[in-house]
Amino acid sequence: MTNEIIEFERAVQTQMARVMIGSAHAIRALVVALLARGHVLIQGAPGLGKTLLAKTFAKVMGGDFERVQGTADLMPSDIIGVHVYDESQKKFEFRRGPLFADVLLVDEINRAGPKTQSALLEAMEERQVSTERELWPLPAEFLVVATQNPYEFEGTYPLPESQLDRFMLRLDLRYPEAAAEHEILARYGADLGGATPIPTDLRVADRAQLIAARARAAQVHVSDSLLAYVLALVHASREHPRIALGLSTRGALALVRTARVVAGLRGSDFVAADDVKEVARWVMPHRLSLSAQAIVEGDSDTSLVDSLLGTTPVPR
């Protein structure tokens, strides 16, 4: 039997593998977010290919692509757009900014100020922009892919909880395996141009295939016991002594929606607890605010997620 979700991921993996090496896990996370209609925050040390991953994914997805570089002087109007007076028509007209692209890459989002970061809140949640008492709808497949370096704090503005909660998942990039890194050096080491080239002939993902994959994911069954397990995880995060702020209802929905996609990727018609555990490491960590004691004692958001997964009973 044909599985549209598996076929869609295979098509995306094939094209992105022409650029990205050893990134199958990261590409799967992006596919899961796309099918579940969520935004992605890519986090990792400098030089691990965060921007290249986002740019290549946008290229494969097709549609309009825009990139915004986060800086301290970046203003909301630089993202949303601005009203300009048209002398010929004797009125102000709205000139759209990069926010109106199908895929928006916000590079180093934590270098933009809080006011500029907040300009994305309405767009990410409601897929629209309100300005000067007018509502401007965003593209149907509007997707925000943001990157940040969590190890550099000078000149950065940590994303507030409300902003983090609007990212369906956070993808943590780590150093590549030795074999993958060797292949990267062998493939791109002779390119003295500096930037890793993205082939112009990358095949764009079929929009009909995307719609079919989403429809298939919506048909994946989620039992009442599985919903109870998700809620148990959510409530455990809210009651954990080392967590000051646990998962929101939006976070619980993200767990269910992404678990549907992951279940489809393994060819199943129903969601299992293992599917929830797999996506929990993408969906939960960035939504947890650690207590002062946890921070002092060196706990991390990922270690607390592992603790929650290890102590929350799994339904039969």
Q: pLDDT tens track of the chain, all 316 residues? A: 468 999 999 999 999 999 999 999 999 999 999 999 999 999 988 888 888 888 888 888 887 888 999 998 999 999 998 888 888 877 888 888 999 988 899 999 999 988 888 889 889 999 998 887 788 899 888 899 999 887 766 768 888 898 999 999 999 999 999 999 999 899 888 776 666 678 888 888 888 999 999 999 999 999 999 999 999 999 999 999 999 999 999 999 999 999 999 999 999 999 999 999 999 999 999 999 999 999 898 899 999 999 999 999 998 7
Q: Report the distance separating Cα 74 and Cα 68, nearest Å.
A: 9
Q: At a CB cut-off of 8 Å and minimum separation 6, what does 119 contact? A: 76, 79, 80, 99
* Chain length of the chain: 316
Q: Report the distance separating Cα 146 and Cα 30, nearest Å.
A: 12
Q: Which residues is 81 bridged to in the sheet?
A: 96
Confidence at residue 195, expressed as pLDDT on a 0 to 100 scale: 67
Confidence at residue 207, expressed as pLDDT on a 0 to 100 scale: 86
Confidence at residue 100, expressed as pLDDT on a 0 to 100 scale: 92
- Mark residue 154 as left, alpha or beta (left: phi above 0; alpha: psi -120 to 50; beta: remaining): beta
Task: Take residue 110 and report the two structure tokens written for it.
Answer: 């934590």
Q: Report the distance separating Cα 275 and Cα 255, nearest Å.
A: 9
**Which numeric CATH code is attached to 220-316?**
1.10.8.80
Q: Report the distance separating Cα 198 and Cα 91, nearest Å.
A: 42
Confidence at residue 156, expressed as pLDDT on a 0 to 100 scale: 81
- In 3D space, the residue among 276, 213, 250 whose CA is nearest the CA of residue 35 turns out to be 213
Is the pTM here over 0.85, yes or no? Answer: yes
- For β-strands 103-107 and 143-148, DSSP reports them as parallel
Contacts 24+ apart (CB under 8 A), 174-182: 174/44, 174/48, 175/45, 175/48, 176/21, 176/22, 176/48, 177/22, 179/22, 180/21, 180/22, 181/22
Per-residue exposure over 76-97, b if at least 16 CB sit within 10 Å of its own CB, e if not: bebbbbeeeeeeeeeeeeeeeb
* Dihedral angle sign, alpha carbons of residues 263, 269, 270, 274: negative
Are the C-beta atoms of residues 289 and 247 closer than 8 Å to each other?
no
